[in-house]
Structure 1
């Protein structure tokens, strides 16, 4: 085997050429820079927009710690790609975000909404023609820390319990609200859902389907949907699908008798039969009566899975609230697809490495989460437009690429930076398999 000679080149080579995609997305499809700089006037020092965009760049390559700003490879490329004048130091980055987190967060959240509404991402509808809106709480483990707001979550560890709202099967994020670990999942949720539905209809032209877990089985969430439809009669309808109706206080024998009359029984194996049926149920809230469809699935087992006959039949009872007018089988399948949102949580926590938030201050961590949403949406769009077409690097067929894949294929592409009198060139290696995809995405972002 030949031995290599190790030396340092005079060429300006970078390993994160994808930052040019992030910079163009922010410049062309948001007003982040101008709104940040106008929010809190400054007489001297690094501009607010330079600070925030520098941290956004770090998030886009999977780094959330403030110290990572000290490891920038090429200051020239970093400032050029992100359209900033100066890179802040670690202390400036931390102090500025601590000081102005409350003022910056609404601007960052608006930039994320603006990006999606301006770029109009392609969204695949469900079998019913709806675009899903999935909301769920995902605890973040920050055990062993003394950060503000960290407390015991329902998962049994200390951390935060933020609630995320995703749009489409692609998983674009409409909001990620940081919450204390001990906060109940339903607290503040109606207001979050109301905002999310308004934002979703600025992006999607199809009907929406709001899907919620059993922790959010509350009539006030249903009222949010009904009030939204009433206030926006000119827009496509919003339907809901909520699991899980809690049957612990129900008499299963009574429901079994109803199933005998109304249910469609399926004998899946010897000793096991399943019935599906729907009932209209009255629910009351603030002096109003609502008639809501409840889909019921009841399972009766007289023989267990090991072939043992049971002395007393085993009965399982499940239910889903919905406004959909489709079959019971379709309702259950549509709710099962809601589980894909768990993968979106994972991409935030692992691919973008934000589970352990970097600050001791709650407001600063809320800002970090808001910036993560903006970076995530841009990376998601880059992946959908750069890694699924004929020009993308060869990979197995998929409807969606993980954020980690986007980082590996397009963000971490090594390149040489060539500066001339009038232009800056990003020169990729001869064997770079991401060149065509990178060029196609950059042209879409930079030139529309």
Structure 2
């Protein structure tokens, strides 16, 4: 059997790009945010404009690249990259690193502001729960930066050296409101209340639906509950059973609660109670708040593989809430909080943000703020271009960031300059990609 042999040629004049999706990224940044004008005022610099540096780095993140060295191919020779992002000059890797170090503290608040500005101006779709609540999930995750001497790297609760940032996610689509970079050893509750207040404020700028704040047991603290009550938002906070006599409490739930499952494998019961919790206000006066707690006790007689247990395994879980719905509904509403792990995974793997590029903590904090903006850009591109009837068979609310990068960002096209205009020409066989790209571009350019 003979195989065809290809003749390899290189064009002298034609230009091709494998990242035509940069045109979508540039549109999103320049049309739906005021990043360039704000950064120009806050961090004026000689040479390449700081706004150009940031837009180029956002372009890298939207390709799933976070290392500063990844800018080199575009710096050396890529007219499309600069044209797509609307920048005058592409920085070298050295300039990119030095400028990010220099302006990190000044421009990070601007990037955080533009993250929400993008969602508001682009009219991002925000889906609620069936009951009408808009979910707002806040959660801490870890980044493994072991065997490095980066500033802020320390022992995390995952038992490796790294960082422990906290992020806020809004809606069933998982839009990122803000990411705050933190040292690995910082406790989740430390500095949490100010972050919570910012997340609630930003959420109210984007939606009028009632908020449902969902938090895990790391934030089971009286000041968290007091803040949620004072902000008049609905909430479900996982109860931390520290110091609790688990067998005794489980027996109480089985005795007083509602049995929802009982067979030869075990039993499950749930109950609700009103608990008074005491705290001291800013003036040192003692005050109390009444909070509803839903408890679920589980008793298992067998291991998951079917091995009988000599002593039954007893477990108890609980959730603080101000919702008045049925006990089982509270538990059901909280299950969606687990989607945060998916969002964290997409940030760390799909956008290459597990190991951060700088040795300076402030620069890495700026990188994470930029990642929130880039994440929302990619999410918006996916919502418009990949959520049609034909493409959305596998996803009800969103497409994975990796899929967006593969299908729309890394989309090969020929760049044509004619009559002072730019044209992207796709392959004759790329019907679906070209149609999705055209739909998204039209939505971003004229919608």
Tell me by how many angstroms 1:53 deviates: 0.6
Q: Secondary structure at 1:202's aligned position in 2?
A: helix
Q: Structure 2 vs 1, CA of residues 309 and 383 (structure 1 numbering), >3 Å: closer, same or farther?
A: closer
1:266 to 257, 260, 270: 260
1: CA distance, partners of 2:276 / 2:126: 35
| Superimposed CA distance per residue, residues 183-241 of structure 1 (whole angstroms, 9 cap, x where no aligned partner) | 00110111001000010111122111111111111121112212222xxxxxxxx2111
- Give the drift of 1:390: 3.7
The whole-number CA distance in structure 1 between the counterparts of 2:301 and 2:411 is 59
1:255 shift after superposition: 4.9
**Residues 33 and 118 of structure 2 are in contact (CA less than 8 Å); yes or no, is this contact kept in structure 1?**
yes
Is 1:249 aligned with 2:244?
yes
Runs of 4+ residues over 6 Å off in structure 1? none
Q: Which sections of structure 2, spanning at least 5 residues, go unmatched? A: 281-285
Aligned to 2:80: 77
Q: Which residue of 2 aligns with 1:234?
A: none
SS at 1:400 equivalent: coil
Q: Which residue pairs with 1:37 in the alignment?
A: 40
1:334 match: secondary structure: helix
The residue matched to 1:276 in structure 2 has which SS?
strand
For 1:53, the equivalent position in structure 2 comes to 55
Per-residue deviation, 1:391: 6.5
Partner in structure 1 of residue 283 of structure 2 = none
Q: 3-state SS of the aligned residue for 2:292?
A: strand
| Inter-partner Cα distance in structure 1 for 2:298 and 2:40 | 60
In 2: Cα distance, 1:30 partner to 1:301 partner: 54
Counterpart-to-counterpart distance in 2, 1:397 and 1:163? 26
Within the candidate set 110, 113, 119, 2:116 is matched to 113
2:151 to 145, 148, 151: 148
Q: How far, CA to CA, are the matches of 1:155 and 1:361 in structure 2? A: 22
Residue of structure 2 in register with 1:348 after alignment = 347
Rounded to whole Å, the distance in 1 between the matches of 2:246 and 2:89 is 68
Instruction: Tell me which residue corresponds to 1:18.
Output: 21
Map of 1:99 onto structure 2: 102
Q: CA deviation at 1:367?
A: 0.4
Secondary structure (helix, strand or coil) at the match of 2:26 reads helix
Q: Secondary structure at the match of 2:276?
A: strand
CA distance in 1, matches of 2:94, 2:302: 66
1:40, distance to aligned residue in structure 2 (A): 2.4
Alpha-carbon shift at residue 273 of structure 1 (Å): 1.9
Shift of 1:314: 4.4
Say how many residue pairs are matched. 436
Instruction: Determine the C-alpha separation between the residues in 1 that align with 2:167 and 2:220.
Output: 16
1:128 Cα deviation from its structure 2 partner: 2.0
Q: 1:295-322 CA distances to partner (integer Å, 9 max, x unpaired)?
A: 0111234676647475x65432211111
TM-score, normalised to structure 2, is 0.93
8 Å CA contact 2:165, 2:179 repeated in 1: yes
Other-structure match for 2:189:
186
1:399 aligns with 2:397: yes
Verify the 8 A CA contact 1:245 1:321 in the aligned structure 2.
no
Residues 253 and 382 of structure 1, relative CA distance in 2, 3 Å threshold: same
User: Does residue 368 of the first structure (1) align with residue 367 of the second (2)?
Assistant: yes
Partner secondary structure for residue 231 of structure 2: helix
Alignment partner, residue 210 of structure 1: 213
User: Where does 1:137-176 land on structure 2 (aligned, <5 Å)?
Assistant: 137-176=140-179
Is the Cα–Cα contact under 8 Å of residues 271 and 304 in structure 1 kept in the other structure? Answer: no
Q: Does 1:335 align with 2:334?
A: yes
With structure 1 as the length reference, what TM-score do the two structures score? Answer: 0.93
1:7 is aligned to 9
Name whichever of 69-78 and 158-167 sits farther off: 69-78
Q: Does the CA contact (< 8 Å) of 2:253 and 2:269 recur in 1?
A: no
Contact 2:253/2:271 (8 A) holds in 1:
no
Matched, 1:283 2:277: yes
Task: Please state if 1:409 is matched with 2:411.
Answer: no
Contact 1:12 1:74 in 2 (8 A): no
Tell me, in whole angstroms, the C-alpha distance in 2 between the residues paired with 1:419 and 1:174.
38
- Contact kept, 8 Å, 2:53 with 2:91, in 1: the verdict is yes
Distance 1:117 1:139 in 2: 29
Q: 1:74 to 1:130 in 2, by over 3 A?
A: farther
Which secondary structure does the structure 2 equivalent of 1:277 belong to? strand
3-state SS of 2:205 partner: coil
Give 3-state SS (helix, strand or coil) of 2:299's partner: strand
Contact 1:172–1:377, Cα closer than 8 Å, also in 2: yes
Q: In 1, distance between residues paired with 2:327 and 2:77? A: 58
- Correspondence 1:427-446 to 2 at 5 A: 427-432=425-430, 433-446=432-445
